[in-house]
Amino acid sequence: MSQVVETGIIAPMSLPEKTSNAVHILAIESGYEGQRIDNFLINYLKGVPKSLVYRILRKGEVRVNKGRIQASYRLQVGDQVRIPPVRMAEKEPQTRLDDRLLNRLEAAILFEDKRVIVLNKPSGLAVHGGSGLNFGVIEAVRQMRPDERQLELVHRLDRDTSGCLLIAKKRSALRSLHELMRTGGIDKRYLALVNGHWHRDRIDVDVPLLKNTLQGGERVVVVDPRGKESLTRFSVRQRYSHYMLVEARLMTGRTHQIRVHAAHLDTPILGDDKYGDAEANKQARSLGLKRLFLHAETLRFRWPDEKQDQHFKAPLEPELNKFLSALK
């Protein structure tokens, strides 16, 4: 006979005691309403093959309020979801992260309310674990805010990019922000120091980008007519003898978009080891630049239920300010 475990929703991917002989009855709390049951199970049963998720749905082993449902069923607050025994790989206990890192991220928070956290992500820290990394920003923030059970990244930043990063505290906020991203309702602007000069102060780069994979598994993005439409609007903030400090406004959100578009103009971002100029990077390092000079400076958006914009600005790290001062 299978054991029955009753629990409320605590956090995605956090079934208590993932044993193969336990039936779990979950009470859906606010924030999960409107989500399809198949997507909910895929996130909740982290590591279980999607084929198995759809199989247990098809066979009626997953019940909502004691009734069979289709994969397209959308959850409601108060629904009682029965999840059958599922064999899952055991996860190693999560390691408590170093307090120095947690304190550093706590100090990097620019804004926090009941819906979002906005922080100034440090360069060199990935936004999430995986690909050989045990943790990233989201895992650290979940340790910092253990009572917040629905924390999710709204968007991503490259590991070496610093600046404004949005984290949703509720699924309703996450859905609203993703809808704003799809409709162009989030204005994201970056600062980059590029090698070289343009004749004009404003340039739009409208060339398609295609993800590619090199031998060895390294992911790169290339300009290719088969790629996705991509648009970056550049404007010059400051000119130096060999470099320019430019603002890059993302009109689309492709992987490595600003870095590839800047390189396409023959003015690659300094410190970019993947798309940059090796000699220019070497010269910049000799002058004190030890990282990619790309920073998500501002975020602006408006909640659907409000009349004023939310506007956030992340200051440059001291290392970058010091480098710019030296150039002057």
Active site residues: 158
* Residues 6 or more apart in contact with residue 200 via CB below 8 angstroms: none
The count of residues in the chain is 328
**Lookup result for tokens 């000119």:** 239
Amino acid identity at 216:
G
Quote the radius of gyration of the chain (alpha carbons, Å).
23
Contact 166, 116 (CB under 8 A): yes
Q: Where are the alpha helices (DSSP H) in the chain?
A: 37-44, 50-58, 99-107, 137-144, 171-182, 257-264, 278-286, 318-327
Angle, to 10 degrees, between the axis of helix 99-107 and the axis of helix 137-144?
Answer: 90
In DSSP terms, which residues pair with 152 in a beta bridge? 168
Strand order in the sheet with 3-8: 3-8, 22-27, 80-83, 63-64, 67-68
Q: What are the phi and psi torsion angles at 255 (to 5°)?
A: -60, 130
